A and B are shown apart, each in its own frame.
Chain A
Amino acid sequence: MLRVVIVGLGALAALLIVRSLRKAAAEGGDIWAIRIALLVVLPLVGVFALRHALILLQGQEIERLAAPYARYGDPRGALGARAQLAGWLLDCTGEDANAWIGYATENGILSRVAFAGGAGASFVADPEDRFDYTVDRLFAYEMERPRSLLERLQPHPVGTDIRLTLCRTLTRRAHEVLRAAGSTGVVVIGDVETGAILAYAAAQAPDEPPIGVKQYLTPGSINKLMVAGLWWDEGWGDTTVECPASVEAGGRDIRNFRGIALGRLQAPAEVLTFSCNTATVSMAARLRERLGERTFQELYRRAGFTVYQGERADRTDTDFWASGSDSWVRRMSPPAAQVRLSSGTTLHEWGQLSIGQGPIDITVLHEVRLIQAIGNDGIMVKPTIEWSEANNPQEVGRVFRRGTARRLMEAMADVVARGTARSAQAHLGDIGEWSLIGKTGTAQVAGRPDDGWFAGLMVDPDGKPIYTVVVYLREGGPGGSWPARIAAELVSDAIGLAHTP
């Protein structure tokens, strides 16, 4: 209404000027005064209006040019940011009491607080604001969006809450267990059916990229699941294979862990149970001989890998997340899982690939997705951290046949029951009829001790896999028993979750 008044006053003023000058010209009098009015006063109004309009037209460019000056003082930006009341970042429960980030009042000061402290620091929100890729930062735009049409009209609209699939209590527990291990590493727990990430805890330096998302790792023996999966997928039956201490591939030896021979094993199940390198190499060689490289390539592609020849592709997997946030996708899409596989792959390289060494790069999140596919009867879905997305899971495709997935899970159960992860049983605690199944892995990295892996599933009393759990510990090998123990310690916390998508 006031704008109408001011516009009206301006219009009336313009009319009055014209009228005054016309009358003055008609009535005569001193011409100089009229000349000043016509040649100075009115042109200056025009100059002002044009220059003002020009600044508006160049607004974006001026803001761009002025942006570097903000670090020398920006009261406007600082006041705007401080006065803003962004939405809360809620955890999987959707309750304020469990919020990741919200507000708290102390001595009359309303401050934005990261309630989870260090537990969410490397992924959700860092109380010390050291990480530039946290959910809090990347979802800032969404949280600043006014929560209603009415709020848009307010001088300081209240932002929109965002509910994450990440559970604060479970993440805090994972963080505690990880820190107790005293090693750099990551724990990720996900929901099998929806792909929702329920916990992400990392122990890492702030200057490192997010270790579970951005860092290429060698999967080690977890990759044996791919060989075994292909074996069953192609309808090959169980057979007996020898597990010698070492096997020759392409003129070079590939050895078992600690150089031990395990005698004759039921393949592929017992090969997974005891993680026999030499038997896996033999199986992979036999598969290549019968099926060719193309079948392997197709399997890896189904599992979300980029299969390349020659130089590494090094592309970002922008289709990885199910997310409504462009910022999140842009910043937190992992590098594409990739494997170099062709008819030119040497026998030795082929053997190394079968046990997860050599030219194969994967991230922790890709491993989570692969295990999720096994637990979900072979169907892979996109991971997500957003509750709204988790309620509409986006299917990627089928990686394994249903029967193959079942057999892989049986073998994984055997790994924990009597295989390489059996030491984890002592750490399961009171989990009733739930169980933990999985596969251990050792990744050899030149110049430092081996990394340790455990990629598993938490299975409910009905035998249905509910949660994925992947633990990666840098220099946490050899063998995956230590990561497996960490996974085991988290089962009782995970099965207590009441709110999952």
Chain B
Amino acid sequence: MRLDWRTLRSWVQRLVGRAVGPRPLVDTTAGAGRRVSFVDRGPLASPETVVFHALFWAGVAFYIASHWAIVRNVWPVHGYAARGPALLVIDSLALLSWIGLLFALKRGGYRGRGLLLLMPFLLFMVGRPSVFHAFSDPAYLPSGGETREEARARKANTARMSAATRVFAGTDRGTMLGLDAPDDERGNELIADWSLSPGTAALVVAPVFVFLGLLIGRSRDACRFLRQSRWWWTGAALLGIVALGFAGHRIDALRGLTPWEVLLPVFLLGWASTLGEYTFNFGAVSRLNPKAFGEMVFFGALPSATLVFIPWTRDLGLSVGLILASAFMLVVSTRAKWWAVTMGIVWMSLVTATLMLDNRASTRFDLAYDTYRDLGEMTGTDARSWAARVYQVRLFDLNVIEGGLLGEGAGLGYGETAPNAADDGFVTLFAAQWGLVGSVALMLLYSVFIVEALVEAAQMRGAFERSLIVGLAMLLAVPLWLAFLGGVRAVPLTGVPVGFLAHGTSKLVASCLSVGLIIGLSHRRAELTREAL
């Protein structure tokens, strides 16, 4: 037998192939008119499969090890919230749920782009431990009638006691301090809270929404039905938002929540349907008839206008996301440069209008770009007022600084002391624990998904599919940009959570639905290409 480079490579490939299975799970190389790689290659594993498995196992390992580090190293030091044990169970179930989804799709013969499926899973695996840490922290969201101040004092005392026990237990000083007594004698026993909130339950069922989106996206009939009946359900969704916003505002039940976020993919579906039907008309002003223009206003502008102009549904982050997504969809479907310019102008105008209508908008700008004003030059009231506004941004800054280059580690540091660290300021919480390198890595991972979605869109022949994928990708990308860039004060903070990373039930559901639709369309294209071959 000849022992050359090719033989060696063949052995390695056989070895890897046996480890990861003989058949590649996915195809990331599928291109129009090319031979796709879903065909069985025998015992040899493709580089794509190896990368897929490496990412999968790295994500699972990171998720489990981070949770373990928090439970093993942080909980004994700081204590944990009453809901901590329940969260641990939920997170374990969520892991199984996601793995179950991937396994089900593999067994079900998913043939779309693998990274589109893997990246949301991976983002959840990498981002969730930080959120788990925040919500299991005893002082992040105090419960049982305890004030935040009291919870922090208790947390600090637990930290002291654990440090003292570590060093002095069994010594004269330990005896003097009563450190040898069990926890319950010290009054530190904790009653776990096993009640389940909708938000935590959503973590487990989120993959179901991916599956639901996949079922819709992969079915030509379902898509056709949705396209044809778009007037009905888009109208119903618009009325639903307004009614929900009005009612919630009147009874003061929303408390900053935006449940209509789950409807954003629905609006994009309606807009993509219109674009699919009127691409030719939208391609030039001369071809824009009244019917097409009417649909453009109804499906392209009205949902965004609802989030900009109606006071009780107004939301800066969501409106910017929806407007940008709609604009990108129009540009991608028509492939017209002048639309890009026009949409740029319209977008700028709408953002300006949003900022002007939003009372907090100018303050947000000041908080980002003129943060640390000299308090000595203000009156006492002004100084107090400005300090209160800067409070969150200041703690976000300190989180970033604390993290430095490589961060403090899983569950370590003081990132959770910042208000809303697990949603608005997720990136700063993550930065405190994983530093600049970790934050950039996370953004790159997210960008892999966005780029893959855009590349998939580029392969799509139909304007509906193409624009829908771009719109859904932008629906995930814009919050990412707003939140990440807002966290480091490159843009004003908008308070919009990032799908799969930050806490937010409606965001998670909407994101899962979006991903499901995208991978459904990707799978359908792969199937069509296969049939063609």
A residues with a Cβ closer than 8 A to B are 1-3, 5-14, 16-17, 20-21, 23-24, 26-34, 36-37, 41-42, 44-45, 47-49, 51-53, 55-56, 59, 62-63, 65-66, 68-69, 72-73, 75-76, 78-80, 82-85, 96-97, 103-105, 107-110, 147, 151, 154-158
Contact = CB atoms under 8 A, between A and B. Distances in A.
Interface in B47-99: 51, 54-55, 58-59, 61-62, 65-66, 69, 73-74, 77-78
B156 interface: yes
A17 B157 contact: no
Contacts of A3: 406-407, 409, 434, 437-438
Contact of A53 (B77, B372, B436, B466): B436
Given A3-B437, A16-B448, 11 more contacts: A12-B54, A36-B454, A55-B400, A69-B375, A69-B387, A76-B414, A78-B152, A83-B156, A96-B172, A103-B160, A158-B163
Contacts of A44: 481, 485
Contacts of A45: 440, 443-444, 447
22 contacts: A10-B442, A12-B51, A20-B452, A21-B451, A26-B31, A27-B459, A33-B470, A36-B332, A36-B454, A37-B455, A47-B485, A47-B490, A53-B436, A56-B404, A72-B391, A73-B387, A75-B395, A103-B177, A110-B160, A110-B177, A151-B167, A155-B159
Interface string B163-206: 11011100011001111000000111000000000000000000
Nearest to B453: A33
Contacts of B481: 44
Contacts of A79: 139, 152, 155-156, 414, 417
Contact of B460 (A26, A30, A80): A30
Contacts of B414: 76, 79-80
Given A41-B477, A66-B398, A156-B159, A17 B444 contact: yes
B398 A82 contact: no
A79 to B, nearest CB: 5
Task: Say which size band chain B's interface belongs to.
Answer: 35 or more
B73 A82 contact: no
B264 interface: no
A156 B390 contact: no
Q: Say what secondary structure dominates the interface of chain B.
A: helix
B458 interface: yes
Task: List 5 A-B pairs, minimum CB-CB distance, nearest first.
Answer: A10-B441, A82-B156, A27-B31, A72-B387, A29-B458
B454 A34 contact: yes
A6 B398 contact: no
Given A6-B437, A20-B452, A27-B31, A51 B490 contact: yes
A154 B163 contact: yes
Contacts of A72: 383-384, 387-388, 391
B331 interface: yes
Contacts of B372: 62, 65-66, 69
Given A9-B122, A42-B447, A66-B397, A30 B186 contact: no
Contact of A104 (B177, B328, B376): B177
B163 A32 contact: no
Nearest to A49: B440
A110 B164 contact: yes
A9 B55 contact: yes
B457 A30 contact: yes
A220 B179 CA distance: 55
Contacts of B466: 30, 33
Given A20-B455, A103-B164, A107-B187, A36 B470 contact: yes
Interface in B473-528: 477, 481, 484-485, 488-490
A23 B456 CA distance: 11
B29 interface: yes
Contacts of B412: 155
A78 to B, nearest CB: 7
B147 to A, nearest CB: 12
B489 A51 contact: yes
Contacts of B442: 6, 10
Nearest to A112: B160
Given A27-B459, A76-B414, A83-B159, A36 B139 contact: no
A342 B331 CA distance: 93
Contacts, number: 269
A21 B455 contact: yes
B164 A158 contact: yes
B121 to A, nearest CB: 13
Contact of A108 (B28, B157, B167): B157
The winner among B78, B156, B404, B485 for most chain A CB atoms within 10 A is: B156
B431 interface: yes
Contacts of A47: 485, 490
B77 A31 contact: no
Nearest to B374: A68
Contact of A41 (B176, B447, B457): B447
A197 to B, nearest CB: 26
B29 A105 contact: no
B102 interface: no
B385 to A, nearest CB: 10
Contacts of B32: 27-29
B210 interface: no
B161 interface: yes
Given A27-B32, A30-B458, A34-B454, A10 B437 contact: yes
B335 interface: yes
Nearest to A78: B152
A108 B163 CA distance: 14
A85 B445 CA distance: 39
B398 A76 contact: yes
A76 B417 contact: yes
B126 interface: yes
Contacts of B431: 52
B153 interface: yes
Given A7-B441, A37-B451, A82 B434 contact: no
A105 B375 CA distance: 40
Contacts of B376: 68
B34 interface: yes
A419 to B, nearest CB: 49
B216 interface: no
Contact of A156 (B162, B187, B400, B489): B162
Nearest to A107: B187
A425 to B, nearest CB: 42
Contacts of A14: 444
B410 interface: yes
A9 B55 CA distance: 7
B214 interface: no
Given A2-B66, A76-B398, A13 B163 contact: no
Contacts of B404: 56
Nearest to A86: B160
A75 to B, nearest CB: 4
The winner among A32, A37, A78, A156 for most chain B CB atoms within 10 A is: A32
A31 B55 contact: no
Contacts of B148: 75
B461 to A, nearest CB: 9
Nearest to B385: A72
Interface string B325-369: 000100110010000000000000000000000000000000000
Contacts of A37: 450-451, 454-455
A499 B371 CA distance: 56
A9 B445 contact: yes
B405 interface: yes
A17 to B, nearest CB: 5
B401 interface: yes
B510 to A, nearest CB: 20
B466 to A, nearest CB: 6
B44 interface: no
A33 B457 contact: yes
B126 A17 contact: no
Nearest to B328: A36
Contacts of B74: 155
A104 B161 CA distance: 11
